[in-house]
Structures are given as C-alpha cells and as structure tokens.
Amino acid sequence: MPTWNHINFQNSVNPIMEQLIFFHDHTMMILLVITLFVIYMMIISSLNKNIDKLLMENQEVEIIWTMMPVLILVLITVPSLRILYLMEEVNSPLLTIKSIGHQWYWSYEYSDFNNLEFDSFMLPQNDSLVRLLEVDNRMVVPIDTDIRILTTSMDVIHSWTIPSLGVKMDSLPGRINQSVFNVIRSGVYVGQCSEICGANHSFMPIVMESVSMNSFINWINNF
C-alpha cells in the first residue's frame, strides 16, 4: 500500500509486475552508464588543450557513435516488447470482470455470476482507516486465477490502475479496453484513477481484495 514516503515501486503481487520492476532496473543501469560516460567525456574534453585544425572526418569514430546507440536501443527494446506481449496475452481466463468509470466512482460487473453488479464509492475519512484509499464495496478476486479485466467509462476518460498488479488501462467512453492479471498472494491492493477526470478525481480509489477460491465463492453467494 502506498505511503507518504514511498518513493519506490510497490511490492509486486504477480509475475508481470516483477518483470516490470526488473525491466526498470535494467533500463536505469543502462542510463546510469550512459550518464557517467557523458560526464567523463565532458570533463576530459574540457581539460584537454590539444586541437587538430586539419581534422575533417573520422569514419571509424562515426561508425562507433552510430552503432552504439543502435545497440543500446536493442538492449532496451527487446525486453520491453517481451513484457508488452505478456501483458496483453489472454488465453483462457477463468473470470471476467468489467470495470466502469463514473464521475466519480467505479462500478463492477461479474458477468460470469448472474450479472452481479455493484458500485464502489470512497468511504468518508471518518469511516476509513486509510485516507482516500478505502471503499464501501471492494472488488474481490480469487488468487492463482487468470482474470480478464475489461474497462470503459460512462462519461469522461478515467484510468483503472493498480500499481501492485502492473495494470494501468484507460477507461474510454464508447470503447472497451482489456487486460489480464493473476494474483499470487492474498491481500488488499489499492489504486486510484490515473487520468484527471474532474473536480473529484482524487476521490475515486480502486480497492481489490484477493482471497482463496472458497472465500470468493462464499462472497459471491452472500453478496
């Protein structure tokens, strides 16, 4: 869960988010090496007093500084595309949930269970232990299950986001976006609308609770 002094990624709860964190570290190391190299060359160039007025070209140097950026881009692009395809892969999800953004709350539809529908409003600060991050009806999902999430909007553009899942999808009016995720541990995971959608943009949190399959079935039966 995010806190006021949280500057790193939230702990991952599925393999996709773990891959995203690894990719972030991989890219940051490349950027760090490039930055240190550029700083080193700037310092060396500023201290170097030698000049060559007759130097017009150097084919070897030009080939090197053309091929090096190409190699760096390949090192970044290949793992990025791999993760992108993994995030979009939807084989045979066991459960489909539809999330609908409103000004300013979320509603959910479990079409696989007699079209179960409910709205999810943020709780007032006096009724919540976590400011701006608790709702009256949580989205409940079973663990170790492939889940397809569909999202759309009834009014303006919203964004359904849970950082621990590595899921961030735009909720667009008249269009349905989809993603897939799998939660590997039980718990409560929160997110917020990540697209500025009006005056109460900050007051439409997303709360997902992952439970065992038996608890999920009991929740469905008792809802």
Domain total for the chain? Answer: 2
**Residue 1 is assigned to a structural domain of this protein:** no
What is the model's pLDDT at position 40?
Answer: 94
What is the model's pLDDT at position 37?
Answer: 92
What mean pLDDT do residues 16-25 have? 88
* 121 and 149, same domain (yes or no): yes
* 83 and 33, same domain (yes or no): yes
- Structural domain range at position 150: 95-222
* 183 and 138, same domain (yes or no): yes
Mean per-residue pLDDT over the chain, rounded: 86
* 75 and 176, same domain (yes or no): no
**Residue 52 is assigned to a structural domain of this protein:** no
**pTM, to two decimals:** 0.77
List, for residues 149-201, the tens digit of each pLDDT value: 899 999 899 999 988 888 888 899 989 988 888 888 888 888 888 889 888 88
CA distance 207 to 216: 15
| Cβ neighbours of residue 18 closer than 8 Å, sequence gap 6 or more | 12
Composition of the chain by helix, strand, coil, percent to 5: 35, 25, 35
Phi, psi (degrees; rounded to nearest 5) at 36:
-65, -40
In terms of DSSP bridges, do strands 205-211 and 187-192 run parallel, antiparallel, or are they unpaired?
Answer: antiparallel
**Residue 159 is assigned to a structural domain of this protein:** yes
**Residue 51 is assigned to a structural domain of this protein:** no
* 80 and 110, same domain (yes or no): no
* 119 and 193, same domain (yes or no): yes
Decide if pLDDT at 57 tops 80: no
**Residue 6 is assigned to a structural domain of this protein:** no
| Cβ neighbours of residue 135 closer than 8 Å, sequence gap 6 or more | 106, 120, 121, 122, 123, 205, 206, 207
**Residue 5 is assigned to a structural domain of this protein:** no
Distant-in-sequence contacts of 22-29, Cβ < 8 A, 24+ apart: 23/79, 23/80, 23/83, 26/76, 26/79, 27/76
Decide if pLDDT at 7 tops 80: no
| Cβ neighbours of residue 195 closer than 8 Å, sequence gap 6 or more | 157, 158, 159, 170, 171, 201
* 70 and 102, same domain (yes or no): no
Lowest mean pLDDT, pick from 6-10, 103-107, 114-118, 195-199: 6-10
**Residue 170 is assigned to a structural domain of this protein:** yes
DSSP label at residue 46: H
Decide if pLDDT at 4 tops 70: no
* 125 and 102, same domain (yes or no): yes
In terms of DSSP bridges, do strands 177-181 and 105-110 run parallel, antiparallel, or are they unpaired?
Answer: unpaired
* 104 and 202, same domain (yes or no): yes
* 24 and 81, same domain (yes or no): yes
